[in-house]
């Protein structure tokens, strides 16, 4: 390993540790701030998996760790500056949403503005590798379609990560796995700046995760989930879409496979039922796992494993060989079989539930002193 590679790995390690420590230290402060500002998630419907008010807006701690680490360890190119400015817009939007519960149309409009800021700074999907391996053209030049396609990608991934934020530690853990996947790929292809940025993002998530795992002391809220989705989407443009290889089109979709799959299935399901694609429901993949009898910790562990398998597939595709291609096929088959079983079993269990009149009871966990105080304050509010 040469001196340059060792230096990049050193910067990666420093960025990860810095972001982790900042997030770890600032999360309790952000939790107190969230309670004071009224950014508290109160369970008012069956989609919520918790049974008492929990402060949200914890994504602010991840953002602090990420932004500080990135500024210290990465050269701020125009593309990176555009990504950071767009991320700030997304975080500000998330803070207001966590406090005031903004409307979907307003949030979508601001997300498009943030995406345009990143795109106009040079973060563009200009070329996509051709998925048709028999075609003489190995890639497609998007031309004028590059701007709308890139904006669509950024907004879609931003919301996809937001939609899987339904269990304690799920979105944060999946984002950690995705960012570590892109970190490994960036090291493999010698893309140091992207690797350091991904290390900063992973470090922020790791520092926040101890407070977010079940039973969660704080949620990341839209402040965190949309921020993570936005950064992953933009950095995938810098670090993945620019590969001029036959299989590179699949890499970002595998790396973000779990949120993409869950979001696509949710939209198809809602449209098939005559509902708006944005209509909230309780049929996401994590809800189905809970309905099958899994505990929150078990469901999150299963989804971590699926996300890790897809991440491994993405890494394999960047350095493909006959053996690795075979491993990729086996991993995809395993992930597909497990996903199919989850969805089929979940649907069957929901059909049987109303007929038997029985279902798994939700075991309530004892509240800590701080949580009991929050609950009492919430009950006194008109």
pLDDT in tens, 10-30: 999 999 999 999 999 999 999
Check residue 73 and give its pLDDT: 95
Q: Model's pTM, two decimal places?
A: 0.81
Return the higher-pLDDT residue of 35 and 327: 35
Mean of pLDDT values over 50-55: 74
- Read off the pLDDT of residues 299-341 as tens digits, 9 standing for 90 and up: 888 889 888 888 887 887 776 654 565 566 576 667 667 666 6
246-256 pLDDT, tens digit each? 455 567 777 78
Q: What integer is the mean pLDDT of 75-100?
A: 95
> Is the pLDDT at 118 greater than 80, yes or no?
yes
Pairing of strands 139-141, 40-41: unpaired
CA–CA distances in Å: residue 371 to residues 20, 76, 110, 259, 365: 25, 41, 33, 30, 11
- The answer, yes or no, to whether residue 293 has pLDDT greater than 70, is yes
Q: Which residue has the higher pLDDT, 11 or 261?
A: 11
Instruction: Give the mean pLDDT of 51-70.
Output: 91
Tell me if residue 129 falls in helix, strand or coil. Answer: strand
Contact 110, 253 (CB under 8 A): no
Find the mean pLDDT for residues 145-173. 90
User: Whole-angstrom Cα distance, residue 14 to residue 69?
Assistant: 8
Q: For residue range 353-377, what is the model confidence (pLDDT) as tens digits?
A: 544 444 444 444 444 444 444 444 4
What's residue 262's pLDDT?
Answer: 82
Confidence of residue 114 (pLDDT cuts 50, 70, 90): very high
Residue with tokens 């040079």: 122
User: Across 141-145, 193-197, 262-266, 276-280, which has the greatest mean pLDDT?
Assistant: 193-197
Average pLDDT over residues 41-69: 80
Q: What is the pLDDT of residue 355?
A: 43
Q: What percent of the chain has pLDDT over 70?
A: 73
- What rounded mean pLDDT belongs to the chain? 80
d(CA 65, CA 87): 13
In this structure, what token pair is assigned to residue 328? 């990729």
**The predicted structure's pLDDT at residue 356:** 40
- Percent of the chain whose pLDDT exceeds 90: 41
Contacts of residue 199, defined as CB under 8 A and 6 or more positions apart, other chains included, come to 11, 12, 13, 15, 16, 19, 69, 179, 183
- pLDDT category, 106, cuts 50, 70, 90? very high
Please give the Cα distance from 315 to 310 (Å, whole number): 9
pLDDT at res. 373: 45
């Amino acid at each position: 390993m040469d001196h340059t590679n060792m230096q990049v790995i050193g910067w990666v390690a420093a960025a990860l540790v810095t972001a982790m420590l900042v997030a770890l230290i600032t999360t309790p402060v952000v939790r107190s701030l969230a309670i004071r500002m009224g950014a508290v998630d109160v369970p008012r419907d069956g989609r919520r998996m918790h049974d008492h008010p929990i402060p949200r807006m914890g994504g602010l701690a991840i953002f602090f760790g990420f932004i500080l680490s990135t500024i210290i360890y990465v050269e701020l190119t125009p593309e990176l500056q555009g990504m950071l400015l767009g991320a700030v817009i997304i975080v500000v939007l998330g803070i207001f949403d966590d406090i005031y519960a903004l409307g979907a149309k307003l949030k979508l409009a601001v997300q498009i503005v943030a995406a345009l800021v990143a795109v106009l700074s040079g973060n563009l999907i200009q070329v996509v590798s051709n998925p048709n391996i028999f075609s003489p053209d190995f890639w497609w030049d998007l031309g004028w379609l590059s701007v709308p396609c890139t904006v669509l990608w950024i907004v879609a991934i931003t919301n996809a990560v937001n939609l899987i934020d339904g269990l304690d530690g799920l979105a944060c853990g999946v984002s950690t796995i995705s960012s570590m996947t892109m970190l490994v790929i960036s090291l493999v292809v010698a893309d140091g700046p992207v690797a350091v940025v991904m290390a900063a993002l992973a470090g922020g998530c790791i520092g926040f995760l101890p407070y977010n795992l079940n039973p969660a002391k704080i949620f990341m809220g839209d402040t965190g989930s949309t921020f993570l989705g936005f950064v992953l989407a933009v950095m995938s443009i810098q670090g993945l879409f620019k590969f001029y290889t036959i299989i590179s089109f699949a890499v970002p979709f595998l790396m973000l496979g779990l949120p993409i799959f869950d979001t696509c299935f949710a939209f198809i399901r809602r449209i098939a039922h005559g509902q708006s694609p944005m209509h909230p429901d309780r049929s996401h993949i994590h809800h189905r796992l809970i309905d099958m009898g899994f505990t929150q910790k078990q469901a999150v562990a299963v989804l971590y494993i699926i996300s890790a398998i897809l991440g491994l597939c993405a890494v394999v595709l960047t350095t493909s060989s006959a053996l690795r291609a075979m491993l990729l096929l086996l991993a995809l088959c395993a992930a597909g079989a497990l996903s199919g079983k989850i969805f089929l079993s979940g649907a069957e269990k929901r059909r049987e539930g109303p007929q038997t009149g029985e279902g798994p009871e939700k075991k309530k966990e004892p509240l800590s002193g701080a949580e009991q105080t929050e609950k009492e304050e919430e009950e006194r509010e008109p």
